[in-house]
Structure 1
Amino acid sequence: MNEHYENHRAVLDTVRRFEQMQARQESVFFDLEDFELIIDHYVTNARFEEALQACEAALGQYPFSTELLIDRAQVTAMRGDYTEAERQIDHVATIDPTNADVAVTRGIISTQRGQFAEAVAFFQIGLEQEPERDDIHFNLGLAYQSWQKFKSAAKHYKQSLRLNPDNETGVQELLHCLEISGRLEEHLEFFQKFTDDDPYAAMAWYNLGQYWYRREDFTKAAEAFDYAIVISPDFYDAHHWLADAFVCQEEFRKAIAEFELSYAPGEPTDEAMCNIGECYEKLREWDAARRFYRQALELNPEMDEAWFGQGVLMQEQERWMEAIHFFRKATELYGDSGEYWAALGAAENQVGNVVSALEAYEKATEVAPEEAQGWVNWSAILYEQGHFGEAAALVQHAVELHPHEAHFHYMRCAYLLADGHLREAYQSLETALALNYDQHTLLFDYFPELRRQPALLRLIDQHRS
């Protein structure tokens, strides 16, 4: 495992050297194997433009390399230029028709195009030529997963991992497929077998930790990640996930210590700094939290999570104008978060910017209609403005999303009463009382004037057990 991470660092050093030479417009000279590593690094991180540039630089040096021609065709497909990718791989096929990667590349193009049956057929041709290729099984898994055939996808991800247990993406995709098909629990033995076969393989323990994390057994997840770290102390991803497991157990100081070990010495990442900031936020240590959020933004000024985190700090201290500034910046950077828009709406409402608050809540429900809180908060403002019917219609969305949540039925009841729809209001109240009688006090917390409605009080009293 240490060797794996030494190799990883060596790849990063090679990539850094390549980028420096390009920035200085120097002649780039690398071994063919180094170019392959550079291209693979960019592809793994979905940096397809840089991957294509690396392909072109490599082909300038090794114009007759079939491997590089295939790499370029695959990267071209990943960029979405399928016609050009097909032209390039057809050219390779004329040079080296028996190369398994010709079929694999055609499979990748078909997967990208959504032609999944065709993709599977191409990958199967590749497997017939080279049956022990873990990457072909992985690509078959991706094709089946995109085709919504999760059991078949899981079968090939498992085979890919048997051949190459170090494929972290393969583990994540397998766990996703098992989770979505309701087969996670029955696969404990599959993950444990890797640790049984080689108890000193850090990656095997790391993968077992991922399994327990998905099962939401954070104690066992932490134990597995800890074993991985004991075997390989510089296993940065294991430190990160151990920290995450501690966060899920609300052990924030332990999490901070692990996040501080989740990057190479002297090379902090924006993600680690932001995570540490959030832990301090949970501990209500505002100054430390803000310091780490700021460090995250120094490393990456466009990190929306760090802008949002600073907004939460201001919100917790009731510094609403500053909160608005940070929340608005977060929405500018990532406008598809219902949470960001809802937080902005709440802050705008606190300073009396009702129109801006309504706009923010409308945006929250537009980008995340499945999140009830946006509908609820939007409805509350409309109720305060006297728009009772609109408020009732909006909270109905929350009721439909969570029909067994009594809270939303009580709110709908109050809005309908205010709008004069007594029969519908009492129907909502009866549903709410049946779901959770004790929560009926919410009605009076939100709307104290309802204590003066005798018919309402009688109905509540009838449901007292």
Structure 2
Amino acid sequence: MHYSQEDENFPITRFESMLKTNNILFFDSNDFENIIHHYLENGKIALSKRAIKLGLEQHPSSINLRLFQVEILVIENKFKEANNLLDRLHNIEPRNEEIFIQKANVLSKQDKHQQAIDTLLIAIDLSNTPEDDADLYALVGMEYLFLDQFESAIIYFKKCLESDISDYSALHNIVYCYDFLNQHTEAIDYLNIFLNTNPYCEVGWHQLGRQYFTIKDYTKANAALDFAIISDDTFVGAYLEKGKVLEKLKQYEEAIENYKITLALDDPTSFALLRIGQCYAKLDEEDLAVQFFKKAIDEDALLDKAWIGITKFYMKRLNYQKALYYINKAVIIDGDNATYWKLYAAVNKRLNFLEEAERGYKQSLELGNFELDTWLNRTDVLITLGNHDAAIFNLLQASEFYPENAEVEYRLAGLYFTVHQPEEGRFHLKNGTRLNIDYNFIISELFPQLTDKPLIKAIISEAKKTSN
């Protein structure tokens, strides 16, 4: 049901003035439908209910007003009442497709998706208009999505698009299903066929560009996005995607141009500002890079990629003081970001602020960054700080995530020998040499005082012999 603003407003104004004065005015049932539809669209449930009540008093036999009543019952999760009312309506009008659509809606809300699909298929059989068919096919597609049956969902979204070529949400859903199934070639084939008959569909070209980007065919991605822009030169998404493609092609100046067009077409996004910063960094335009990183942060202080971008920018140029300044700010703004703490640790380690580095790695681990190098870096800092017990405890935790890991085992060996627990030391050193003899340099690098110990030398040279 589509209503224009003009048609809609007059009965609504009349209805609302009636509510204020308590004078009962007469409306035809169509007006009531428009009024109720308007209130439902705007989430005004109480007003919808009043309009339904008054409407049914004036038009007690109107099936459509009763169907709105069903909608309200569904919103209020009163499924039993909704079902009973639908059964009564079905007895009156057994071939009314709207009744089946609402019945499917009730079933869907109760997670009975297969039954909802069967009910919608009956509605499709009863339907007479292709436009209604398109909506119904889309509803069937959505039910299949709820069931994670992506192949079946694709079939119905395609039928929806065949019935209504301008239904871009169906096109998005088809591509979403192909993405989920990792069927990028199939998605590309489908989009190419679709675009043969709809050559000016900017959404189709944009989606095709994204698919080519995913399979790393950047030249074809670039061409597809050019067509998206030719079809609609104000399509912000196409310029952003084209910028990403041009970066992959190392055409940074052109990428910047595309990102800048998005800034002119729409409110600036932190993503575009950040990408411009990254491109300028690649071009060694340092002042401009920093300027755009800062703009990205001003636009969205919670965009972690911007803080990480500017910190890494300064680290790469060995300006660790500046890097520290920015990562400190980031940690203050969002202290629950594991990636910030890991970077904070790396910068402090470079500056030889070892207590701070250790704190950063610890926080990062506590926040769920369980990458192997986080455990190992924290261990190495603890070893340098002479905090051997904490280093051992840290590695034993790491070994739960990374059992049978040579880098963990050699470090444990060195630590146990250092704290005079030779049995444990020997056990872990043998494990390390069994797992990977090439990592034995860890001992001489982290524990130089142990290198000449006869027991350690014997275990390593024995392992070397057997591995050759």
Tell me, yes or no, if the aligned pair for 1:314 and 1:322 is still in contact at 8 Å. no
Q: Please report how far the alpha carbon of residue 84 of structure 1 lies from its aligned counterpart in structure 2 after TM superposition.
A: 3.7
State the secondary structure of the residue aligned to 2:402: helix
CA 1:32–1:175: 2 relative to 1, 3 Å: same
Which runs of structure 2 are paired with 1:281-300 in the superposition (5 Å)? 281-283=281-283, 285-300=285-300
Structure 2 match to 1:154:
154
Which deviations, in whole Å up to 9, do the C-alpha atoms of 1:273-329 show, x marking residues without a partner? Answer: 232223334555443233223323444455444344344445443125413333314
Q: Structure 2: where are the runs of 5+ without partners?
A: 10-30, 47-71, 417-423
* Secondary structure class of the residue paired with 1:343: helix
Aligned-pair identity in percent equals 17
Q: Which amino acid aligns with 1:150?
A: F
The answer to whether the Cα contact below 8 Å between 1:308 and 1:326 also exists between their aligned partners in 2 is no
- 1:355-374 aligned within 5 A: 356-365=359-368, 371-374=371-374
Residue 415 of structure 1 corresponds to 412
Q: Partners of 1:282 and 1:295 in 2: how far apart? A: 18
1:128/1:414 Cα in 2 relative to 1: closer, same or farther (>3 Å)?
Answer: farther
Which residue in the other structure is 2:24 paired with? none
**Structure 1 portions without partners, runs of 5+:** 1-28, 35-60
Determine whether 1:318 maps to 2:315: no
Q: Which residue of 1 aligns with 2:35?
A: 65
Question: In the alignment, which residue of structure 2 is the partner of 1:216?
Answer: 216
The SS at the match of 1:268 is coil
Partner SS for 1:148: coil
Deviations 1:349-401 (A, max 9, x none): 55332563244212332xx55x555444444445553234323334335536x
Hey, what does 1:454 align to over in structure 2? Answer: 457
> In the alignment, which residue of structure 2 is the partner of 1:339?
339
Q: Distance in 2 between matches of 1:296 and 1:363?
A: 28
Letter in 1 for 2:396: A
The answer to whether the 8 A contact 1:307-1:329 is kept is: no
Q: 2:399 aligns with which of 373, 396, 399?
A: 396
Question: How big is the shift at 1:258?
Answer: 1.7
Q: Distance in 1 between matches of 2:43 and 2:125?
A: 22
Cα displacement string for residues 171-208 of structure 1 (whole angstroms, at most 9, x for unaligned residues): 55544433443433344321221233344443332222
| Equivalent residues of 1:451, 1:457 under 8 A apart | no
- Counterpart-to-counterpart distance in 1, 2:168 and 2:399: 42
CA separation in 1, counterparts of 2:161 and 2:37?
24
1:43-442 correspondence runs (5 A): 64-69=34-39, 71=41, 84-86=75-77, 115-117=112-114, 119-121=116-118, 123-124=120-121, 127-128=124-125, 130=127, 133-163=133-163, 170=170, 173-265=173-265, 267-283=267-283, 285-316=285-316, 317-319=319-321, 320-329=323-332, 331-332=334-335, 335=336, 338-347=338-347, 351=353, 352-353=355-356, 356-365=359-368, 371-384=371-384, 385-386=387-388, 387-396=390-399, 399=402, 409-419=406-416, 420-432=424-436
C-alpha distance in structure 1 between counterparts of 2:381 and 2:406, whole Å:
17
Displacement of 1:241: 0.8
Deviations 1:117-161 (A, max 9, x none): 455456545544556544544444444334333333333344444
Determine helix, strand or coil for the equivalent of 1:287. helix
Answer whether contact 2:8 2:35 (CA < 8 A) is retained. Answer: no
Structure 1 contact 203–228 (Cα < 8 Å) conserved:
yes
| 1-structure distance, mates of 2:178, 2:273 | 32
Deviation at 1:240, TM superposition (A): 0.9
**Cα distance in 2 between the residues matched to 1:281 and 1:205:** 30
Distance change (3 Å), C-alpha of 1:162 and 1:450: farther
Question: Cα gap change, 1:304/1:188 in structure 2, threshold over 3 Å: closer, same or farther?
Answer: closer
Instruction: Provide the C-alpha distance between the structure 1 equivalents of 2:448 and 2:158, rounded to a whole number of angstroms.
Output: 59
SS state of the match for residue 210, structure 1?
Answer: helix
Q: Which moved more, 1:250-259 or 1:127-136?
A: 127-136
* Cα deviation 1:62-117 (Å, max 9, x = unaligned): 884354355357999xxxx9964546995997999988677667766766765544
What is the distance in 2 between the residues matched to 1:295 and 1:377?
33
Q: CA RMSD in A?
A: 4.6
CA contact (8 A) 1:278 1:309 kept: yes
CA distance in 1, matches of 2:436, 2:123: 59
- Structure-2 separation of matches of 1:373 and 1:163: 54
Letter in 2 for 1:222: N
CA, structure 1 residues 422+216, in 2 after alignment: closer, same or farther (shift >3 Å)?
Answer: farther
C-alpha separation between the residues in 2 aligned to 1:187 and 1:447? 55
Letter matched to residue 422 of structure 1: R
Q: Which amino acid in structure 2 is aligned with residue 423 of structure 1?
A: F
